[in-house]
Each structure stands twice: as C-alpha cells, then as structure tokens.
Amino acid sequence: MQSEWIREESEKLKSKNYEVEGAVEDLIQTICSYQLDQHVEPISAEEIQKLSKYYNWSMYQALLHATKYSLNQMKERICGRRNMPKQILKPFFEVDVQLDGDTCILKPTLEEVQSAINRAASHVLKSTKNVQNWNQKDQPEDQREPFYDWIAKDKEIVKVILLLTGSIQGTKNNVNKFLESFEKFNWLWKKKIDKELADFNKKEPQLEDFEGKLSAFVESEDEVNLIMIHHQIGALSLKTNNVKTGLQKWIVLWKDAYAKDLLKKAQTNIDKLTEEIKHIKLKIEKPAKDIDSLGNVMHALDEIRKKQSTI
C-alpha cells in the first residue's frame, strides 16, 4: 500500500515537472520572439541558457528539499532529535510480545521492523526516479537522466539513509533486557508438573504445604497481572497482552495440578475417616453388659478424641 501511494505521488511529480519545464520553454520562446528596439542588443543564447538552468536548478532544489524533509521526519520519529536527548518519542511501531514455546519473542521481529524502515526510506528516495532532468526531450525516455541520480549523491541524504538503516540497533539492547525480564517465569515450562508434584508428595505434605504452594502460584499470577499492557522503548510500543495470556495459562496448569491432587487426597482421607467413624460407632452402640464391654466403649471414646485432633 505504501509503495503504491508513493508511486502515484511520483507520477504527479513527473507530470508537474513536465509542466514547469514546458512553462519555462514558453517563457523563453516569448522572450526571444519579442520585437526589441534596433538600438537594444538581442538576448544572447548564453543568457537564455542561464535562465533555463536557473529554473532547472530550482526544480532540483525543490525535489531535494522535499526528499530531505521526508527522510528527516522519519529520522526524528524513529530516533528523536539530537538536541533533545530526553525527548519522549511517540510509538511509531506496535510490536507484540509473545510466548513461543519456551521463549519470549517479538512479532514482528526487530529485523522485520528495520526492514520496513529501510523499504520506506528507499521508496521515499526512489520517488524521484521517474522525474527526469530537463533538456532531454530529444532522447528516448528510458535513456533520460532522472533527478534521482543527483539527489542520491547528496551528502545529507546519504547520512540520513545510513542513520535510518541502523535506527533500530540502538534499541536492541533495551528490548532484549525487557524480554529477559520474563525469564523469572521460565520455571513454568522448564520444570515438569508431574515430576515436581511427585517429588512434592514424597515429603508427605500436609494441608499447610499445599496452601503454601497454591499461594505461591497466586503470587506469580498477581505479578503477571501487574505487567503493563504497553511498554515503550524508543519508537517501539511493545504490547504484552499475548505474553501475559500465555503465562497465565501456564500458571493455571500448575494450580489445577496441585489443586486436583489435594482434592484427591482429601477425598481419600474423607472416605477413610468415614469408615473409621462407622467402625467406632459400632463399638459405642454396643450395650455395656460387663467390665470388658465397658472398657471397649471407653477405648472407642479415646479413639474419637485422638481423631478430633487430626481432623
């Protein structure tokens, strides 16, 4: 879309260039055909050539200025102004931070962003490739020299182009540091849930141990929720919605695994306790006919007191 728009605007420049060149030729023809007083010296061919070169040079300067302005505007939006080091740039590119397998990546990548900048700068510069220099109407159109050949050699143009082609490199270190900040969550995928749960159960955990684990998962979830959905680095706006969603899904997997295991253990303990209560109930409900049967009842009541301390 961008290249198509520049192509259309380039055709307009080409047309306007023909119009201006034609207008200057008409002006020269009008001047040359004007009847001068015989005491006035006729206009020399050298002066006529000077007039044509003046407007030819003015056209070149206009195209050069427009190209410089466009490239400098790009440079300021991407790199900022040199005399304003603390300037806060408005984001020029939106980039998604995503969780791809076990790595945080950018979509598009920094290389793709840089490639887009390079293409944009190239299209701006090449917009003058179809705008032909003057006084070449006697040559075939495909052999005429364009203004582009002059503009592309301008030192300031070359300087800005070189700066733009490496503009993202300056933000690369900061972007990498930001991506590295997600490495504290890499245990979510580097550790195996089943193995960690098995090792945890070998220690015969109590309810408090499960509560500690589940609380740690909730803390990690809260930490993920606190991550800003937009993080600006230079002209890049890093969107973290996708990576936050990915991390939250991993945390849910860990929480569910431990919660299901706790539920399973609780159900087993309840079933066991129910059976024990039935067994004790049978002992208590037996009538105490003698000292031995009374001793059994007292023993059953003692079991109930012990169970109360573990329930």
Mean pLDDT of 204-233: 93
The tokens for 173 are: 């270190």
What digits encode the pLDDT tens for the residues 87-140?
A: 566 788 999 999 887 789 999 999 999 999 999 999 999 999 989 999 888 888
For 66, how many CA atoms within 13 A lie in the half-sphere containing its CB?
16
With a pLDDT cut of 90, the percent of the chain lying above it is 56
Residue at 50: amino acid letter: K
Contact present, 72 and 82 (Cβ < 8 Å)? no
Domain coordinates of the chain in residue numbers?
A: 2-86+108-167, 174-310
Residue at 110: amino acid letter: L
Contact present, 236 and 175 (Cβ < 8 Å)? yes
Maximum distance among all Cα pairs of the chain, rounded to whole angstroms: 159
Cα(21)–Cα(57) distance, rounded to whole angstroms?
11
Long-range contacts of 193-202 (CB under 8 A, 24+ apart): 193/253, 193/254, 193/257, 194/257, 197/257, 197/258, 197/261, 200/258, 201/261
**In whole angstroms, how far apart are CA 229 and each of 19, 95, 216?**
52, 12, 23
Averaged pLDDT of the chain? 86
Q: Looking at residue 82, what is its pLDDT?
A: 60
In this predicted structure, the answer to whether residue 234 has a pLDDT above a threshold of 90 is no
**146 has which bridge partners?**
132
Rounded to two decimals, the pTM is 0.75
**In whole angstroms, how far apart are CA 13 and each of 59, 62, 204?**
11, 11, 81
